[in-house]
Amino acid sequence: MPLSEREKMAAGDWYRCLDDELAEMRMAARRAVFTHNSTAPDDRGNITPDLLALLGSAAPDARIEAPFHCAYGCHIHLGAQVFINAGCVFLDSADIRIGAGSMLGPTVQIYCPQHHTDPSLRKDGLEIARPVQIGENVWVGGGAIILGGVTIGDNAIIGAGAVVTRDVPANVTVVGNPARPIERR
């Protein structure tokens, strides 16, 4: 029996994102995100129950500010004391794992899917998903973009507006587009 598009996505194979099962999963995420984003700050807490139930895992003290957007939610894993600032977008067609104590500034974007380079296959929704791993105590500056397949080591700093296309070793600061290491002062 052939694999479903969801199974292909989970296996890291090429899959068609224009699929009924995946569309239902994205709709469930939209509903949970809508509730989170429209709940009054005094009532929201760290993460609203609907969004928390959708996530793959989250420590009790992980916090997601509103507004927030994710594609599926179920592939997001947040360690202790993770802070996600306002306006972040996670296209989590693969796992996004963020280690304890890491902080993401406003409007950080994490993109796991990569569309096909062939225009006819791209038109049909063919894409592949690559995971993102962010270590512990990482600081990601506002407006940074992290592409799929990237691993960021513990204690790294991603400068505001950086576009991270390659792995970042532990204890390294990167800035720019594409992100490149600089020496810390």
Q: Give the CATH number, domain containing residue 66.
A: 2.160.10.10
- pLDDT band for 185, please (50, 70, 90 cuts): low
Mean pLDDT along residues 146-151: 98
Q: What is the reported pLDDT for 184?
A: 64
Catalytic residue (choose from 69, 75, 115, 116): 115
Residue 122 structural domain: 5-182
Question: What is this structure's pTM?
Answer: 0.95
Q: In what order do the strands lie in the sheet with 126-129?
A: 15-16, 126-129, 113-115
- pLDDT band for 181, please (50, 70, 90 cuts): very high
Beta bridge partners of 130: none
Residue 32 and residue 44 in contact, taking contact as beta carbons nearer than 8 Å:
no
Q: What is residue 118's DSSP assignment?
A: S
The 10s digit of each residue's pLDDT in 36-75 is: 999 999 999 999 999 999 999 999 999 999 999 999 999 9
The 10s digit of each residue's pLDDT in 7-27 is: 999 999 999 999 999 999 999
Beta bridge partners of 185: none
User: CA 157 → CA 69, 102, 180, 185, distances in Å?
Assistant: 23, 10, 11, 12
Cα 94 from chain centroid? 9
Q: What is the reported pLDDT for 183?
A: 75
- Using H for helix, E for strand and C for coil, what is the string for 34-75? HHHHHCCHHHHCCCCHHHHHHCCEECCCCEECCCEEECCCCC
115 is catalytic: yes
Question: In angstroms, rounded to a whole number, what is the distance separating the alpha carbons of residues 31 and 146?
Answer: 25
Asked if pLDDT for residue 132 goes beyond 70, the answer is yes
Q: What is the domain count for the chain? A: 1
The 10s digit of each residue's pLDDT in 64-115 is: 999 999 999 999 999 999 999 999 999 999 999 999 999 999 999 999 999 9
The percentage of residues in the chain with a pLDDT greater than 70, rounded to a whole number, is: 99
- pLDDT band for 30, please (50, 70, 90 cuts): very high
